[in-house]
Amino acid sequence: MKADFNSYFSNLYGSRWEGLSKHLNSPEKQICFSPFSHKSNMALDGAFEGLLSPGNHVYSNPEQSQSRSSAGHLQNYIMDPASLAPVLALQVHPEDQVLDLCAAPGGKSLGLLSQLGEQGHLLSNDSSPARVTRLRKVLEQYSPQEIHQRFSLRNKDGTKFGFFHPKEFSKILVDAPCSGERHQIHSGKTSEWSLKRSKSLAMKQYTLLCAALLCAQTEARIVYSTCSINPVENDEVVRRFLKKKKDFVKAASDVFSESTKNALEKSVGLEQTELGWIILPDTQGYGPIYFSAIQKTS
């Protein structure tokens, strides 16, 4: 018998599903993220308490939150702070060559860009021309003019990206297209959900990870993330990748310091899964976001 949306996730999450589904159906909890302000200067490690101060809380995209710096760039990008956890897990250093493989709409790219120094560079890619146009607008509007030379954009199929940029990057974020169950609930499209489609997406997600591996320098760090709550698109994708590519990759063991992990647990409700981490909205109201950190070994 074909599983429907509610029965499938009820079986997965058990007694937790009733509360989780209620929070997934509630308005998304967001903040004003100011990556280039001196106040929140994204040394992301330990920055979550500042980001989550009461003055930063918003629950929609209010126009009144927009303000410009003295340099002229917009300061307040509205986003779920849970989305910055994969950026933190990537552990970007100022000199890194960074790839954001599926970058639109751009919040994570802003977080990555804010970590780079003069020797570092961010390449943000998206397969959709329209989304790349939006991505360019976000990066240009929300970063100072002098930072613009530190990023470039591409409009390529992410699954084939390794052929264009082999062994170029020291840090790679794969924020993969996923089922986005929260969006399905909000748009009233849960009747269109199917496990078959999730498994099809998982195949593409795995292919994106393989492309990232081709792009990675030796010892490069790859972070895989989705906004799905389904292990089929999360841990199972990572499990397959670690198994199939075991001669070239391993699970990263140094994802967070103990103090950072504790701060994330307290502020956004970080939970550990078998092969990664997940943030679900029935704890602190943020998410969902899943991510896993992987190290290229050879």
Are the CB atoms for 136 and 113 separated by under 8 Å?
no
Measure the CA–CA gap between 223 and 44, rounded to whole angstroms: 16
N-term to C-term CA, the chain: 44
φ, ψ for residue 177, nearest 5 deg: -55, 140
Measure the CA–CA gap between 80 and 62, rounded to whole angstroms: 14
The answer for 14, left when phi > 0, alpha when psi is -120 to 50, beta otherwise, is left
Give the alpha-carbon dihedral of 106, 111, 115, 118, to 10 degrees: 20
CA atoms within 13 A on the CB side of 205: 31
Catalogue the active-site residues.
227
DSSP string, 20-56: HHHHHTSPPPEEEE-TTSTTT----TT-HHHHTSGGG
For residue 105, say if its preceding peptide bond is cis, omega within 30 degrees of 0: yes
Q: Spell out the alpha helix ranges (H) of 25-70.
A: 48-51
Residue 158: count other Cβ atoms within 10 Å of its Cβ: 23
